């Protein structure tokens, strides 16, 4: 069975709760190699999205994802707002306009296009110690899982797992983009906050797809 609009709504709601719960952790990570606002920025942004979505009648997954991107662009400042906003707008665009249910291929394309959008908007590559280091393996592993016949929920689980190990992998990287790049090699030994928040967002996508 495919994933419907309600899945996107559950996903955003679960993300909003996860980011609120993990605000101290994200603040701590961003305090070490950034300016300490990542947790606050994101929790506020996704709460705004959650509120907006519950005030609208959203008919398709594409519409829900597009609204998410628009609100993130409008309400989250700093580096992460435009990057996450772009990711959700590109994910929306990856889905056929009137589709009511998303299959494994749609889900993988959402992640591939989101990762491409972040790479473009951020001017970053895998290995630069950014959120792309979570999005990129998520997208790549999702596409590989589709090729092996995985269902939509399974594709999301595989993507979430890849995002988490990608985020953990930023520990040993030297930051080449964003605020953390000011520290250069001194950023080694600390995880990238955006990669960790991406792992949380994609984990919420996966858990919202089952049960």
**Alpha-carbon gap, residue 52 to 56, rounded angstroms:** 7
Q: Is 72 in the site for ligand ADP (CB under 6 A)?
A: no
- Judged by CB, which is closer to ligand ADP: 80, or 205? 80
Q: Is 41 in the site for ligand ADP (CB under 6 A)?
A: yes
Q: Is 151 helix (H, G, I), strand (E, B) or coil?
A: coil
- Do the Cβ atoms of 141 and 154 come closer than 8 Å? no
Site for ligand ADP in 155-174 (CB under 6 A): none
Helix residue spans in 55-149 (DSSP H): 61-75, 80-93, 104-122, 132-147
Report the 3 state secondary structure along 15-66: HHHHHHHCHHHHHHHHHHHCCCCHHHHHHHHHHHHHHHHHCCCCCCHHHHHH
Residue 160 binding: pick among Mg ion, ligand ADP, none (C-beta 5-8 Å cut-off by kind): none
The least distance separating ligand ADP from the CB of residue 65, rounded to whole angstroms, comes to 20
* # residues contacting ligand ADP (CB under 6 A): 24
Binding test (CB under 6 A) with ligand ADP, winner from 69, 104, 137, 193: 193
Q: Dig out the tokens for 199 from the structure.
A: 């792992």
Residue 83 binding: pick among Mg ion, ligand ADP, none (C-beta 5-8 Å cut-off by kind): ligand ADP
Residues binding ligand ADP (CB under 6 A): 30, 34-35, 37-38, 41, 78-80, 83, 118, 122-124, 130-132, 177-179, 192-195
């Amino acid at each position: 069975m495919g994933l419907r609009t309600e899945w996107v709504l559950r996903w955003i709601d679960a993300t909003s709760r996860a980011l609120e719960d993990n605000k101290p952790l994200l603040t701590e990570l961003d305090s070490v190699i950034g300016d300490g606002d990542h947790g606050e920025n994101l929790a506020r942004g996704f709460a705004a999205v959650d509120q907006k979505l519950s005030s609208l009648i959203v008919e398709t997954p594409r519409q829900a994802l597009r609204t998410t991107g628009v609100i993130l662009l409008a309400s989250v400042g700093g580096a992460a707002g435009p990057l996450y906003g772009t990711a959700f707008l590109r994910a929306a665009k990856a889905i056929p306009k009137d589709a009511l249910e998303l299959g494994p291929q749609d889900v993988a394309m959402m992640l591939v296009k989101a990762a491409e959008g972040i790479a473009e908007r951020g001017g970053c590559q895998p290995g630069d110690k950014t959120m792309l280091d979570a999005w990129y393996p998520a997208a790549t592993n999702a596409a590989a899982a589709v090729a092996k016949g995985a269902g939509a929920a399974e594709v999301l689980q595989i993507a979430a797992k890849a995002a988490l190990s990608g985020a953990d992998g930023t520990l040993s990287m030297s930051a080449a983009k964003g605020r953390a790049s000011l520290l250069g090699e001194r950023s080694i030994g600390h995880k990238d906050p955006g990669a960790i928040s991406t792992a949380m967002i994609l984990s919420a996508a996966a858990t919202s797809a089952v049960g």
